[in-house]
Structure 1
Amino acid sequence: MNHEVLAIRHVHFEDLGSLELVLGERGRPVRYLDVGVARIEAPNPVGASLMVVLGGPISATDDTFYPTLVPLLAMIEKRIAAGLPTLGICLGAQLIARALGARVYPAAQAELGWTPLTLTDAGRASPLRHLDGASTSMLHWHGDTFDLPTNATRLASTPACENQAFAWGDHVLGLQCHPEIRTDRFEPWLIGNASELAGRRIDACRLRADTAQFGPTLEAAARRMFGEWLDQVDTKS
């Protein structure tokens, strides 16, 4: 296995964000596989030191419309079975949940904007302690949710979404929320999702202002969380 990190990216502005800075500091190169540009089956799913499946505006169950989902699920299943570090963010977390046999489905209400996380006891005992709502808010941008996979441990919730974060074993972490957001790179999110914001009657100016207010604190907290998680999985892998 090499030291490379494989990041599966669905839309260009939903990248590793602040988490990539942590990897850079550790000398860990990131290779992005852009879905729809590169062949999804091309990389060896067990060849990288870490695989991250990033977010995107499609549903994790839209196999008929988006044929990249099935091979991506197969990649995730192979990573998990091999006991290798795997991280999912938003759509990525939903795909990990689905790969573990859990149901993914439309949430009772979309969650789009800033809301603090409420951590479970397990969450407070994990690297997610840095993301506790008492110290930082959190960005959310999703319309789907999922059941907690069998043998998974819930780490965090919000009033609108019970399963915001979960761990499965020592090597898998799913984050429905977006701790990776960078304040200075948020404008493409607003532009790329302009139709959704208008359709949901969400004020882009307010969302921009909230991100300017809460983003810097979250960036620092997310970097601490991710660094601690990397230390844990690197020790056990």
Structure 2
Amino acid sequence: MHIHFIQHVAFESPGYILEWAQGKGFSTSFTRLYESVEFPPVENTDWLVVMGGPMSVHDETEYKWLASEKAYIRSAIDAGKKVLGICLGSQLIADVLGARIYKNDQKEIGWWLLETIDVQHPLTKDFPEDFPVFHWHGDTFELPAGATHLFKSKACKNQGYLAGTNVLGLQFHMEVDERLVAQMMQHGKSELVEAPFIQDEATIFLNTLSIALFTRVLLGQLLDRFEAL
């Protein structure tokens, strides 16, 4: 099995998703859009994983590679590949599938409770009804047509979806560890303002120390089940 990662910025790397892939013995490759815009032939990959980033799916004037990226995501979906999107990645996939991407009522930054819609679904069976995960987003998406709604939060109604059996979008970050969260805070300090769903830097760091390992274990279960679908 081969997994290709699309990474938009250096400080939002795959984290535990890469560890999971390596533990499975999968080969991996990267398109790092902040370095070059080169995608491998879709037929040479089994999974496509699209990571997060601070830009919007609508910023094609500023980030001209967005159009090419969306076309590549579309080609992977059409070829029946497993496609996973994290945060911006989930929004890009939803956009490609025809769903609306828009500003959420509130920015959601920090460790906030995520609610599992159906604890009997094959992907989320026996998941906690709610559990804390790391968020850093201002935009959100409508669910793609026919997609299964997987997760929601108090601040954002659409947090995760499954389209068919091969396309999974997660608005939140279960892949993070202390290093990744520190990098995201370093590059996004200006967003850490007082607001209903934005935690301060100290709170985020302390929560990361106590929660991140738990969410990574759940992510491993989710990825195993997504692989098996």
TM-score normalised to the size of structure 2? 0.92
CA distance in 1, matches of 2:226, 2:126: 11
Q: Write the deviation string for residues 188-208 of structure 1: whole angstroms up to 9, x where unpaired.
A: 122122222258675211111
Question: What SS is found at the alignment partner of 2:41?
Answer: coil
AA paired with 1:190?
M
1:235 is matched with which residue?
A: none
Higher mean C-alpha displacement, 196-205 vs 16-25 = 196-205
Q: 87, 94, 99: which one pairs with 1:97?
A: 94
**Partners of 2:174 and 2:212 within 8 A in 1:** no
User: Cα RMSD between the aligned structures?
Assistant: 1.8
CA distance in 2, matches of 1:126, 1:156: 14
CA distance in 1, matches of 2:202, 2:187: 15
1:157 is matched with which residue?
A: 152
AA paired with 2:122?
S
The change in CA–CA distance for 1:177 and 1:192 in structure 2 (over 3 A counts) is same
Q: 165, 187, 202: which one pairs with 1:170?
A: 165
Unaligned 5+ segments in structure 2 are: none
1:74 is matched with which residue?
A: 71
Superposition misfits of 4+ residues, deviation over 6 angstroms: none
CA distance in 1, matches of 2:161, 2:149: 4
**Partners of 1:22 and 1:227 within 8 A in 2:** no
Q: Write the deviation string for residues 62-101 of structure 1: whole angstroms up to 9, x where unpaired.
A: 1111111101110111111111110000000000000000
Higher mean C-alpha displacement, 147-156 vs 201-210 = 201-210
2:123 is matched with which residue?
A: 127
2:185 is matched with which residue?
A: 190
Q: 2, 5, 26: which one pairs with 1:4?
A: 2
**Counterpart check, 1:142 vs 2:130:** no
CA distance in 2, matches of 1:151, 1:98: 14
1:186 Cα offset (Å) = 2.6
Q: 19, 22, 34: which one pairs with 1:21?
A: 19
Q: 70, 86, 89: which one pairs with 2:83?
A: 86
Question: What SS is found at the alignment partner of 1:170?
Answer: coil
Equivalenced residues, count: 227
Question: What SS is found at the alignment partner of 1:174?
Answer: strand
**Partners of 1:45 and 1:76 within 8 A in 2:** no
CA distance in 1, matches of 2:203, 2:211: 12
AA paired with 2:85?
G
**Counterpart check, 1:118 vs 2:153:** no
1:29 Cα offset (Å) = 1.9
**Partners of 1:6 and 1:48 within 8 A in 2:** yes
**Partners of 1:51 and 1:87 within 8 A in 2:** yes
1:126 Cα offset (Å) = 2.8
Query: Percent same amino acid at aligned positions?
Result: 32
